[in-house]
């Protein structure tokens, strides 16, 4: 009989590769790229406005425009990762190219003596996060993949882990996930791959031992992620008298995320029944979200501007599906029928990210240049997986509340103009979202850029670099194997704007 890929809605399976603190962090963190001018100045635009990507910091910024304008930005993303695992450092680099920003603003000046001088309507698309990334970790460890399966298998009855007469192995895999949950499904994989064995050959057995014998094993782990988190903004702002700008935005988010991991293991003792093992996982997430923002900019005098804004929580609705495959020298003959074409589907879940507050100060030196500083505060411990009544989410939310903390962010930028040429530079600092920064370190970034004003149009070029250390865990449950990854992201952006 011909076998086909089988799809099943998993109703009872709580799985470890999604719906955890990692998802909350992934979708709560905005690494806005923005226009080339925005990138070159470190994103410090909260009291300035007059830039399409500045609407993400302060929605009052569209009323600062004196003319209607459209613009777009193309960015090249270069990732450089050094992964330390065991005593070995492995380097991985990757590149991707994207149109990361496009938008326009329409300015309508008042034709009366009203104190409301003008209104501005704007729309803008920005890439909040580009998930294209990859790292490889190679090294020697005393924690083999057998520990992953043993942790899930202990306490699981042996009977359901056997395939029934006439039952395809892939159907058994899906059925166990749907009826018994993720732990039993992982135990099934370990048992069918020959990595773990029951202490007693009895369907009621709930104890297992490893077929892998070693003091240390060699592991090679590759993680590849792709996708994006984008934001489409509808904005309205107005200018009151000469010194006050007020604005609001509605933001519509779109998420597409894929993570695939490959683990190969060997180096066992010569008399070990297991001599090699491989275990691969695929996670696919897609969904949408909504948020809003409010803000104001005040001109204290000709030189000083103050800004304040509130970014609401973002309410995401997301769906996940997962696939796995496994092999070893003791695996059953039909183990390859469990592959990335066999998909576990999961019910929709929701994430509420915390709101953010931003205060800004800018010094404007006439037409010669400016300096701008933004400070943002976001309490990551307030993030939630929903529905909160779900007992699995309730326990994870307790963990989020006790593990994450407040994030303070600073962005500093400057611009110096020499006739039609603008020289720019910026600095960005963002604290770790963890109360203990051993998990994820603080982020530091530097940027620089140049722009040329043709009068009715402008061309901008920017270079930006960020660096951050992260503990990247191989699995979200089962074992704590992790690589310490130093992530260095370098972007080169080219932007064009046209006034009309």
What pLDDT, in 10s, does the model give residues 240-270? 999 999 999 999 999 999 999 999 999 999 9
pLDDT above 80: residue 8:
no
Token pair recorded at residue 160: 């359901």
What pLDDT, in 10s, does the model give residues 157-207? 999 999 999 999 999 999 999 999 999 999 999 999 999 999 999 999 999
What's the CA gap between 56 and 46, in Å, rounded? 9
Pairing label, strands 315-328, 349-352 = antiparallel
pLDDT value of position 19: 78
- 29 Cα distance to chain centroid: 7
Token pair recorded at residue 464: 């930006």
- CA nearest to 407, candidates 360, 357, 445, 465: 357
Share of the chain above pLDDT 70, in %: 96
pLDDT value of position 5: 37
Token pair recorded at residue 72: 């777009």
Report which DSSP code applies to 108: E
pLDDT value of position 13: 41
Among 64-78, 319-333, 354-368, 468-482, the range scoring the smallest mean pLDDT is 468-482
What's the CA gap between 38 and 50, in Å, rounded? 10
What pLDDT, in 10s, does the model give residues 95-146? 999 999 999 999 999 888 889 999 999 999 999 999 999 999 999 999 999 9
Mean pLDDT of the chain: 93
Inter-residue contact 305 to 362 (CB < 8 Å): yes
Residue 443 CB neighbours (<10 A): 22
pLDDT value of position 20: 86
> Left (φ > 0), alpha (ψ -120 to 50) or beta: where does 382 sit?
alpha
What's the CA gap between 426 and 464, in Å, rounded? 9
DSSP reduced 3-state for 158: coil
DSSP code string of 402-437: HHB-EEEEEEEEEEEEETTEEEEEEEEEE--SBSST
Token pair recorded at residue 309: 């804004």
Q: How far is CA 245 from CA 22, 60, 62, 258, 334, in A?
A: 38, 6, 9, 41, 67
What's the CA gap between 360 and 367, in Å, rounded? 20
pLDDT value of position 31: 81
* Partners of 290 in beta bridges: 252, 315
pLDDT above 50: residue 314:
yes
Query: What's this model's pTM, rounded to 2 decimal places?
Result: 0.92
DSSP code string of 119-157: EEEEEEEEEEEE--EEEEEEEEES--HHHHHHHHHTT--
pLDDT above 90: residue 213:
yes
What pLDDT, in 10s, does the model give residues 324-365? 999 999 999 999 999 999 999 999 999 999 999 999 999 999
Share of the chain above pLDDT 90, in %: 88
pLDDT tier for residue 389 given thresholds of 50, 70 and 90:
confident
Q: Positive or negative, the Cα torsion across 136, 430, 102, 456?
A: negative
pLDDT above 70: residue 74:
yes
Burial class of residue 12 in the structure, from the number of CB atoms within 10 Å of its CB (0-12 exposed, 13-18 middle, 19+ buried): exposed
What pLDDT, in 10s, does the model give residues 16-51? 444 788 889 999 888 878 999 999 999 999 999 999
């Amino acid at each position: 009989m011909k076998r086909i890929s089988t799809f099943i809605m998993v109703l009872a399976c709580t799985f470890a590769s999604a719906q955890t603190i990692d998802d909350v962090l992934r979708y709560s963190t905005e690494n806005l790229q923005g226009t080339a001018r925005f990138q070159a100045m470190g994103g410090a635009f909260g009291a300035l406005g007059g830039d399409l990507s500045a609407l993400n910091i302060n929605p009052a910024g569209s009323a600062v425009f004196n003319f209607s304008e459209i613009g777009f930005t193309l960015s090249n993303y270069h990732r450089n990762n050094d992964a330390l695992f065991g005593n070995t450092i492995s380097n991985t680099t990757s590149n991707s190219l994207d149109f990361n920003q496009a938008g326009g603003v329409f300015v309508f000046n008042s034709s009366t003596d009203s104190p409301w001088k003008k209104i501005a309507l704007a729309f803008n698309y920005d890439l909040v996060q580009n998930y294209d990334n990859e790292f490889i970790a190679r090294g020697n460890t005393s924690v083999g993949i057998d520990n992953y399966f043993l942790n899930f298998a202990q306490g699981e009855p042996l009977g359901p882990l056997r395939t029934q007469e006439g039952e395809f192995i892939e159907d058994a895999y899906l059925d166990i996930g749907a009826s018994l949950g993720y732990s039993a499904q992982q135990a099934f994989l370990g048992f069918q791959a020959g990595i773990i064995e029951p202490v007693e050959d009895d369907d009621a057995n709930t104890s297992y031992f490893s077929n892998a014998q070693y003091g240390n094993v060699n592991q090679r782990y590759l993680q590849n992620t792709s996708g994006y988190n984008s934001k489409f903004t509808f904005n309205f702002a107005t200018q009151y008298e000469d010194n006050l700008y007020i604005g609001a935005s509605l933001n519509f988010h779109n998420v597409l995320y894929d993570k695939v991991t490959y683990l190969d293991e060997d180096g066992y003792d010569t008399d070990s029944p297991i001599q090699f093992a491989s275990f691969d996982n695929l996670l696919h997430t897609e969904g949408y979200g909504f948020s809003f923002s409010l803000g104001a900019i005040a001109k204290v005098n000709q030189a000083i501007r103050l800004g304040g804004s509130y970014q609401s929580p973002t309410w995401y609705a997301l769906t996940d599906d997962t696939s796995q495959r496994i092999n070893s020298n003791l695996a059953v003959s039909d183990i390859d029928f469990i592959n990335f074409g066999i998909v576990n589907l999961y019910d929709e879940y929701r994430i509420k990210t915390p709101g953010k507050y931003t205060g800004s100060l800018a010094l404007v030196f006439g037409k010669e240049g400016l300096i701008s500083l933004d400070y943002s505060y976001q309490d990551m411990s307030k993030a939630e997986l929903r529905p909160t009544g779900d007992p699995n989410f309730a326990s994870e939310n307790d963990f989020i509340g006790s593990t994450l903390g407040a994030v303070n962010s600073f962005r500093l930028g400057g611009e110096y103009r020499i006739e039609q040429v603008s020289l720019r530079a910026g600095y960005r600092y963002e604290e770790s979202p963890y109360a203990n920064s051993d998990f994820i370190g603080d982020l530091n970034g530097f940027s620089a850029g140049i722009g040329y004003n043709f009068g009715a149009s402008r061309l901008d070029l920017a270079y930006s670099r960020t660096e951050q250390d992260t503990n990247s865990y191989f699995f979200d449950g089962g074992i704590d194997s992790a690589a310490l990854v130093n992530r260095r992201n370098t972007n080169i952006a080219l932007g064009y704007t046209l006034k009309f």
